[in-house]
Amino acid sequence: MLFTEKLTARTRAVDSMLCVGLDPDFKRIPEHLKNDEDPVWSFCRAIVDAVAPFVCAFKPQIAYFAAMGAEKTLERVIAYIREKHPDIPVILDAKRGDIGSTARMYAREAFKRYQADAVTVSPYMGYDTIVPYLEYPDKGVIILCRTSNPGGADIEELVCDGETIYERIARLAAGPWNTTGQIGLVVGATQPAEIARVRKIAPSLPLLVPGIGAQGGDVNAAVAAGLDAAGAGMIINSSRAVIFAAPDETFAEAAAAAARATRDAIRAARVRALAGQD
């Protein structure tokens, strides 16, 4: 199944556009897990099972695993999702960006080693750095466009030949770069006006939207700006606000409650946005 097909099927099956990010900061893992043989595994497995009913995707952030030398745990977590929750796509948040020969190794890492369904990449070295990921036509390639961090404006809002950098990325991603139909874009929830602009340029691309929850993005504004013509097309990510909802033995139950509440808020925002279009 293509990444876009898997994502659409899951979104419809559970009526959810919520993606939960797996960012296992060891300092914030509950103390009672830290004596386990692999605390990161114990934590992530419990979170995955607790929030799975409410999500359209999972997004493990590779840096949190790699910084601890826990790449094998990341492999194990993704393999677990694929075994126990096979209908939920996994987006490896790696933000890779390098010359073609190196990008080919990064693509193999994401899609062969980790068995991810999609990966985030940086476009700032040009199309030839994207091509190796597109050699896996069933996989998703989600390109940084207008990011949620405050410093994103330093580069992404620069004007070149009458359009901003992020607008050009969106135009290229929706057009000549999208040779497999598997490209998506990262657009932060903290930038609703830019989400709307990107959606206009790229009407059919899936948008990965980080920035709600801990980063303070407005769910209603983001959803109203980013829905596609079918009233979907968004992967709205929350990481820390869900997975660290409680610091103790109740962490999994608290994560489930936070995921449910976030999913419901996204649903309500979608209903309001669609009603406003009538």
Q: Which residues are catalytic?
A: 95
CB 273 within 8 A of CB 224: yes
Residue 22 to residues 96, 171, 214: CA-CA distances in angstroms?
18, 30, 14
> Max Cα separation, the chain?
57
**Partners of 118 in the beta sheet?**
91, 140
> Could you give the C-alpha distances from 136 to 47, 58, 119, in angstroms and in order?
29, 20, 11
Note every long-range contact of 171-177, with CB atoms under 8 Å and residues 24 or more positions apart, other chains counting: 171/201, 171/202, 172/123, 172/127, 173/123, 173/143, 173/145, 173/202, 173/205, 174/201, 174/202, 174/203, 174/204, 174/205, 176/127, 177/127, 177/130, 177/143
d(CA 182, CA 116): 14
Q: How many Cα atoms are found within 13 Å in the side-chain-facing hemisphere of 14?
A: 23
- 177 and 145 Cβ atoms separated by less than 8 Å: no
Nearest to 169 by CA among 156, 181, 151: 156
Q: Which residues contact 160 (CB under 8 A, 6 or more apart)?
A: 168
Give the whole-angstrom CA distance, residue 75 versus residue 124: 28
Lookup: tokens for 34: 């830290």
